[in-house]
Amino acid sequence: MFIPDISAGYISMRWNLQGPNYATVSACASSAHAIGDAMRHIQHGDADMMIAGGGEATITPMTYAGFSSMKALSTRNEDPAGASRPFSADRDGFVMGEGAGALVLEALSVQRLGVQRF
C-alpha cells in the first residue's frame, strides 16, 4: 500500500503544525509542485509559513531495467564521475540518482517581525 502523505502527516503531528497538509504526486516534478503550492498557500493567506519539499528513491532493479531497456542510461561506466554531462554534445544518457530536500517558506510580513519559529 502506498500512502504518499504519511510523512507530511507524521511531521505535522509530531511538531503540532497546523494548516494545509498533503503530498503532491506528479512524478519527478512533485517537489517543484510542492514548493509552488506552498508559495500559493502563503500568497492566498491560508498559512504564513509552510514546509515544502520532497524526495526521490527510485533506484531499484525494475526502474534500472526499464531505463536501461529504453537506452536512456549513460554507458560511460568506466568513468562514473564524468558520466553525467547533460549539456554536452557527446552525452549518451543520464545517471540515476536519489535525493531529498525541504524548504521553509514564510510570508514576508511574518519574516520582518523577526519571529524565531524553529
Domain locations in the chain? 6-111
| Assigned superfamily of 6-111 | Thiolase/Chalcone synthase (3.40.47.10)
pLDDT of residue 51: 94
pLDDT of residue 22: 92
CA distances from 43 to 7, 18, 21, 72 (A): 24, 17, 16, 39
Mean pLDDT value across residues 51-65:
92
Q: What is the pLDDT of residues 20-33, one digit of tens each?
A: 999 999 888 999 99
Provide the 10 A C-beta neighbour count for residue 17.
15
pLDDT of residue 58: 85
pLDDT of residue 27: 85
Mean pLDDT of the residues in the chain: 90
